[in-house]
A and B are shown apart, each in its own frame.
Chain A
Amino acid sequence: MQDEKELVERAQHHDQEAFAQLYEEHFDKIYRYVTLKIGNKTEAEDMTQQVFLKALQSISSFKWKGIPFSAWLFRIAHNQVVDYFRKKKRTDVPLDESLATNDKNPQLIVEQKLDTEQLLSATKQLTEAQREVISLRFAGELSIAQVAKTIGKSQGAVKALQHSGVVALRKILQVTEND
């Protein structure tokens, strides 16, 4: 955290190398988070770029008030996603490929390899809050404390959403044993 704070302060003082380092550290995580939230890899690419350009424009407004830089960055990403859905209307968002989950067999065997498309499809069936927590936790790789800061909820509430989200995913991901 101390290292990150120092990097952010350097970036705020227009240190190019520091900002480039922050970019490298967070790029993949932001991309994964956006992909899981919108379910479309191509759109996620453009949006990820926008997140960092937005961060560049507004880094000077970032202040250390108990909110880590990563949480601030994920909030920018979250706002981009909200704008995206507002423009496109959520129900119209296409998935990358055929993403139908297999519900022929109710036996839950998610310990099998789950592919990305199945996950993208499954997360669309979660509640908005569950989906946010699952995306930040498993795609963004944030800790419970960081997720709590990002979405402005208590850690207890985030843990409860994580629990209910994983339970819901378990139910949705009904995969036949031979798939």
Chain B
Amino acid sequence: MTKEFDNILDECLERLLVNGETIEQCLQSYPEQAADLKPLLQTALATRQAAAVQPRAEFKARARYQFHSALQEWVTRKRHPFLSWFPRWATVVAIVLGVLLIGGGTIAAASYSMPDSPLYPVKLAAEQVQLALTTSDIGKAELCAKFADRRVTEIVYTADRGDTQRIEAATRRLDERLVMLASLTSTTTKAAEEAPRMLESTPPTHFGEAEDSQLVPMSGGKDNRVKLRTAVAGYATNHPAFLRATLKKAPASARPALRRAINVAQTGYEKALKGWD
């Protein structure tokens, strides 16, 4: 009897938690056990909801950055042991030749590289190519937001190392992307107001990466703009907050550069969001 009830309870939990059925639907399948089942299903449902704790956005961003840094180091060490002693110029030449010969594998690896990595120039070059190959404004805007997110991660990475020059370089690149994003958001909004049908027929461009969970694949013009605006609004809050949290722990020498980065992020996102107003 108990074993049978264990199975019934589990079946109902699967239906409830995985298939999205209601408690009533489950109870209808087992009217004889309904009186015992109902309170347990209610408890289980409440438990699942209460257990759905969301990690803080700031912690998640920091953890992701630290993991990607460790991942980058791990991959470089395991896959490219020669990179640690190869002359820098020769490494870049080898990478470019490698890309030409073997395709996009290196580009994929480079997309997670940090400014002090030999693969970093490949990452920047790949981004330029992606922007150049994307024809729609909404696609370009999506890429700008994605690359701005990368720049913030790089600023935090370089700030931890007290590398002021690289913080400033990444901040300049962040500024460029946010200026471009602001210009594109205003263009796409005007275009959408004037010719929504035309915009909706624009083929979506998406370079999906696990790191960009906020930027989901976009399918339609109007949806694209809404999703992009949501993602950018999230970045507008999270990026300056993340940079401010970094500022507290950063070496004194890196703080002026970090303050400039915070300023660039705040004003850049404000302008970008204004484009949608």
Which A residues have a C-beta under 8 Å from some C-beta of B? 14-17, 19-21, 23-24, 27-28, 31-32, 35-36, 41, 45, 48-49, 52-53, 56, 108, 110-116, 118-119, 134-135, 137-139, 141, 143-144, 156, 159-160, 162-163, 166-167, 169-170, 173
Contacts and interface: CB of A to CB of B under 8 A. Distances in A.
Nearest to A17: B108
B10 A56 contact: no
A163 B64 CA distance: 36
Does more than half of chain B's interface fall in helix, strand or loop, or is it mixed? helix
A20 B43 contact: no
Contacts of A141: 17
Nearest to A173: B43
A108 B39 contact: yes
A15 B59 CA distance: 25
B248 interface: no
B101 interface: no
Nearest to B58: A45
Interface of B: 2-3, 5-7, 9-10, 13-14, 17, 39-40, 42-56, 59-60, 63-64, 66-68, 70-72, 74-75, 78-79, 108-109, 111-112, 209-211, 213
B51 A14 contact: no
Given A16-B72, A114-B46, A160-B6, A24 B211 contact: yes
Given A156-B3, A162-B6, A163-B6, A49 B66 contact: yes
Given A16-B71, A48-B63, A156 B6 contact: yes
A56 B70 contact: yes
B67 A166 contact: no
Contacts of B63: 27, 45, 48-49, 52
Contacts of B50: 114-116, 118-119
B123 to A, nearest CB: 12
A115 B46 CA distance: 9
Given A24-B210, A138-B48, A170-B40, 15 more contacts: A14-B78, A20-B211, A21-B210, A24-B213, A27-B63, A28-B55, A45-B63, A48-B55, A48-B63, A56-B70, A110-B39, A119-B51, A139-B51, A156-B6, A169-B43
Given A32-B53, A110-B43, A163 B210 contact: no
Contact of B71 (A20, A31, A36, A137): A20
A35 B51 CA distance: 9
A163 B33 CA distance: 14
B272 to A, nearest CB: 25
